[in-house]
């Protein structure tokens, strides 16, 4: 039986139950959100009970709304009226049955089907001194008491119960296609022969936390020495919803003390592993959507389907690897600074598909957000 989550409103009238908080985008379809709301009609005072799923882009803390320093745009919203009954009759799944057993006689089941063209959850890491919501795209399930589905007045927090959920993607099945490769041939002043650099990856997609072997081949036909190899991984984040902002952050920079003498060759794989643990204080880094009191990791690459509107995706994430050779000045050029030879490779970082399995039942209570 899956782990269960619950959240109760401040007045105790509503309790929201979910069986999971991660919902997978399978490209052709997205896992439906199956939940239950337990309600006490005695505490409604003639009002109705709704449940809402919203995908929103936000920037800034909620408490700054009043002075115009916070921005929020709902990308997609869907409401369901649960009480009085308005005809929402989802096909009951084993998850619904389990949640209804927990909720008791006053439980009302609901199902949200998530549109396939919506973005996955992503958040930009705030600075160490920043509190509240950072810039990002998130999904929220909220049940609330109101007279209409989309009331003009602001809801009283005690009349709501809400949970943030994540929409995530897993890496597609391996295609067997070779990884990317890049080549460069660079000559230097007063030298009639070049340095050849080739860098390649073994496959197209890598999983978060796994080592990445960068295959490097060098043919040094000059009289200079390659004194160092540096490998850099950069994350580029395009915030496309409200502006053309683009952020590039270095998530890994690693030096390798490999020297390549004049008129010699080099052929070796060098392993790197970009991790969030090494970038915890880097403001503006794109992360997987963060759930309260739970850790996360670097954001996965944004996979764009043909015909999708990029602006609807809100935030686009991509990675690249830079391989640099530091070449010493030598011969008649002694005294000049060292030169760089660089190639770039695209990198796709994602999660592997999890193995099918069932977790033991555990009920988790989360504080009101």
Average pLDDT over residues 45-50: 92
Q: Is 329 exposed, middle or buried (0-12, 13-18, 19+ CB in 10 A)?
A: middle
Indicate the SS3 state at residue 312: helix
Length of the chain: 369
pLDDT for 309: 67
User: In b/e form, how buried is each residue of 122-159, taking b as 16+ CB within 10 angstroms?
Assistant: bbbbbeeeeeebbbbbbbebbbbbbeebeeeeeeeeeb
Q: Which residues contact 173 (CB under 8 A, 6 or more apart)?
A: 353
Indicate the SS3 state at residue 100: helix
DSSP state of 260: B
The winner for highest mean pLDDT among 161-170, 212-221, 357-366 is 212-221
Confidence band for 52, pLDDT divided at 50, 70 and 90: very high
pLDDT for 66: 43
Cis status of the peptide bond prior to 84, with omega within 30 of 0: yes
Average pLDDT over residues 153-166: 90
pLDDT for 251: 96
Using one digit for the tens of pLDDT, what is the confidence trace for 94-129? Answer: 999 999 999 999 999 999 999 888 888 998 887 666
Look at the pTM and tell me if it is higher than 0.85.
Answer: no
Using one digit for the tens of pLDDT, what is the confidence trace for 330-369? Answer: 543 333 345 689 999 999 999 887 765 433 333 344 444 4
Of 259, 223, 252, 280, residue with least CA distance to 349: 252
**Structure tokens of 200?**
């390649």
pLDDT for 307: 64
C-alpha distance from residue 197 to each of 27, 32, 270, 367 (Å): 37, 48, 14, 55
């Amino acid at each position: 039986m899956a782990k269960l989550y619950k959240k109760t409103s401040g007045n105790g009238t509503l309790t929201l139950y979910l069986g999971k908080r991660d919902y997978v985008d399978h490209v052709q379809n997205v896992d439906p959100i199956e939940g239950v709301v337990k309600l006490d009609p005695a505490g409604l005072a003639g009002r109705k009970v709704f449940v809402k799923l919203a995908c929103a882009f936000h920037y800034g803390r909620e408490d700054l709304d009043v002075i115009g320093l916070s921005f929020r745009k709902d990308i997609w919203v869907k409401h369901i009226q649960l009480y009085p009954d308005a005809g929402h009759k989802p096909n009951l799944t084993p998850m619904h049955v389990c949640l209804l057993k927990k909720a008791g006689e006053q439980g009302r089941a609901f199902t949200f089907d998530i549109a396939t063209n919506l973005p996955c959850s992503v958040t930009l890491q705030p600075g160490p001194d920043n509190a509240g919501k950072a810039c990002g795209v998130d999904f929220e399930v909220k049940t609330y008491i109101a007279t209409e589905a989309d009331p003009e007045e602001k809801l009283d927090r005690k009349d709501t119960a809400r949970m943030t959920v994540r929409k995530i993607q897993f890496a597609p099945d391996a295609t067997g296609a070779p990884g990317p490769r890049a080549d460069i041939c660079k000559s230097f002043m007063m030298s009639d022969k070049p340095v050849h650099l080739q860098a390649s990856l073994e496959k197209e997609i890598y999983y978060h936390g796994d080592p990445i072997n960068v295959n490097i081949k060098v043919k040094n036909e000059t009289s200079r020495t390659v004194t160092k190899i540096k490998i850099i991984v950069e994350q580029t984040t395009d915030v496309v919803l409200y502006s053309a902002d683009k952020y590039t952050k270095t998530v890994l920079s690693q030096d390798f003390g490999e020297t390549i003498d004049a008129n010699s060759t080099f052929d070796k794989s060098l392993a790197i592993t970009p991790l969030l643990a090494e970038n915890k204080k880097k403001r503006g880094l794109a992360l997987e959507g963060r759930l309260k009191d739970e850790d996360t990791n670097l954001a996965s690459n944004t996979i764009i389907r043909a015909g999708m509107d990029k602006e609807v995706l809100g935030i686009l994430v991509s990675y690249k690897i830079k391989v640099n050779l530091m070449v010493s000045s030598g011969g008649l050029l002694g005294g000049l600074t060292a030169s760089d030879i660089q190639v770039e490779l695209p990198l796709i970082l994602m999660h592997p598909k999890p193995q099918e399995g069932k977790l033991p039942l555990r009920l988790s209570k989360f504080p009101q957000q």
